[in-house]
Amino acid sequence: MERIIFYILALIMIVFAIKAVSSRKMLRSVIYLLFVLMGIAGIYFLVDYTFLAAVQLAVYAGGVIVLIIFSVLLVHHIELQLDEATLKSRISAIVLSLVGGGLTLFTIWTYQFSPVENYKAIEVADIGRGLLSYGDGGFILPFEVISVLLVAVMIGAIVIAKGKRLEQ
């Protein structure tokens, strides 16, 4: 059962990822990206990391995609089609991606992973304790740095987006 769900999710994600990078309507490619992100949340659900899946759905599907949709609506005419890359640059990009992907897949498939059998779900309390502990394996410092980063980004985004017009 999980196997079938995984393959359906994988198919959906790959098809919509290809459509997201090749569609010539900008708003459509954002929506295709939304499907890919939801598929990724599905993968997180399958490996029993439900908190991460919820974060993925809330932050990406709820936050980032809406932000990008708004910016598309602000800066782009809907009926306009995007410029297509020249055939030469597309072919070189495909070759580069295929070579890189082939190398990565070859490395992955020849490496001997030794997975540990486990089906236990983690609790949100464990994640919270890990994030806030300053003992061994605790993540309190990155957590604080991330919160400072978020404040800095918030102020920076406001200051930058206010901007000035060229004629002023």
Partner 1 sequence: MIQGISIYEILTLTSIIFFIGLYGFLTRKNLITMLLSIELIFNASAINFVVINKYLFPENLQGVFFAIFIIAVAAAEAALAIAIIINLYKLITSVEVKDTETMKY
> Which of positions 105-134 make contact with partner 1 (CB under 8 A)?
105, 108-109, 113-120, 122, 126-127, 130-131
Asked whether position 81 contacts partner 1 by CB under 8 A, the answer is no
Asked whether position 66 contacts partner 1 by CB under 8 A, the answer is no
Going by the DSSP 8-state scheme, the letter that residue 167 receives in this structure is: T
Among 79, 134, 141, 161, binds partner 1 (CB under 8 A): 161
Burial class (CB in 10 A: 0-12, 13-18, 19+), 61: middle
Asked whether position 29 contacts partner 1 by CB under 8 A, the answer is yes
Among 8, 78, 101, 144, binds partner 1 (CB under 8 A): 101
Asked whether position 59 contacts partner 1 by CB under 8 A, the answer is yes
Q: Least Å distance between CB 101 and partner 1?
A: 4
Asked whether position 57 contacts partner 1 by CB under 8 A, the answer is no
CA-CA distance, 41 to 35, in Å (whole number)? 10
Nearest to 41 by CA among 18, 21, 58, 27: 58
Q: Which position has the token pair 């609790």?
A: 123
Query: Six-digit token pair at 72?
Result: 């598309």
